[in-house]
Amino acid sequence: MRTNNKELKNTVLKQLYFGQLMSHADLSALINKSLPIVSKAVNELMAEGLVIEKGYAPSSGGRRPLIYALRPDGMFVLSVAMDQVSTQMVLVDMMNRPVAEPETFGLELAQTPSALPILTKRIKTFIARSGIPREKIIGVGIGMPGFVDPEKGINYTFVDAGEDNIPDYISNAIGLPVYIDNDSSLVALAELRFGAAKSLENAMVINVGWGIGLGMILNGELFRGHSGFAGEFSHIPIAENGALCGCGKRGCLETECSLFVIARKALEETGGGQISTLKFGAGATPEKVIEAVIKAAHKGDQLAVELLSDAGYVIGKGLAILIHIMNPEVIVLSGKGAAVGDILLASAQQALHKYAIPRLAGATSLKVSELGSHAGLIGAAALVIDNFDKIRLS
């Protein structure tokens, strides 16, 4: 079957975005097209100002091939990362570098029925203020918490679109393609394309945030399960505290180790006279509390370290279950919690020593993400590029 020229060029752009520097031969092997066909597509993309030459590849014997990359300012993506209490957005070039001042604003999804129009207005204003021509922005990628169906464009937990779907609602208002996905899936996508899970076949990515999300990489691809909701790590019944979870069930993992729980315990302990450098004023928000706990932990505050270590141990119990079932090559701690990943990792490893079969646990390495809190934004940008085949480029 003959490949459409536009489709071929989109595929080349996609490979260059994720591969960054590639020769004609590299592209030919990846997309299974002949060198003349690939060369023609690359030349056309260069003429359109989307691809540039980057010199010759390092010598490995024989003639050195020319290598190519995306022109950084040839196209831009608006990346949006939402969690339960706040939203970040940034406009990035084809090297994932910010080209306008990033914006963060509070948006408590559970308490804000009008979250979608608020988000849409913020996006529209952000694009207008960026100074980037709208025609050079190829799309908007949005990661959000909850049960998200990216194909139908529906979030069954937060961000109600009424009779519409979320991408269409926003797209109709801003005039750009919009794609959504679960936040933890996009954190995993970022790790798969650019981070600790790059080029791996089987990896689990833990998104440590207001919940404890999971992105599953199987056979080198994101695994979503039969209904698209695989990876609800937060809600495995592991806790013994009997606390009611936001999902309506008791005993969920997140009731003992989410950032919400850490923030609540920090307020309780400091309010009860626990000796600590942590001090909170009246009305301290969960985000401010967590920021303070992380900062205090890095300075060695005992209470802060204990709160995080306790959470890491519970996460480790959950990881033991994952290892026994999935036998992954790597488990990556990512998201907001990566900022204290070394503390979480140490206590999670203690739990694995106690609960995991050594032969299985020994085959799985635990890593802390180098993408950290930026993983959600990087994943949202990658989501747009992953949908290049649906984007009509001029």
Whole-model pTM above 0.85? yes
User: What whole-number percentage of the chain has pLDDT above 70?
Assistant: 97
Q: Which amino acid is at 375?
A: A
pLDDT in tens, 250-291: 989 999 999 999 999 999 998 877 778 888 887 888 899 999
Enter the tokens of residue 323. Answer: 């290892």
The predicted model gives 92-117 an average pLDDT of: 93
**Ordered domains of the chain (ranges, CATH):** 5-70 (1.10.10.10), 76-186+376-390 (3.30.420.40), 198-370 (3.30.420.40)
DSSP H or E run through 280: none
pLDDT in tens, 17-52: 999 899 999 999 999 999 999 999 999 999 999 999
pLDDT in tens, 40-83: 999 999 999 999 999 888 766 667 889 999 999 999 999 999 99
The rounded distance, in Å, linking the Cα atoms of 156 and 166 is 11
Q: What is the mean pLDDT of the chain?
A: 91
pLDDT in tens, 160-218: 888 889 999 999 999 999 999 999 999 999 999 999 999 899 999 999 999 999 999 99
Check: CB of residue 10 under 8 Å from CB of residue 27: no
Predicted local confidence at residue 51, as pLDDT: 95
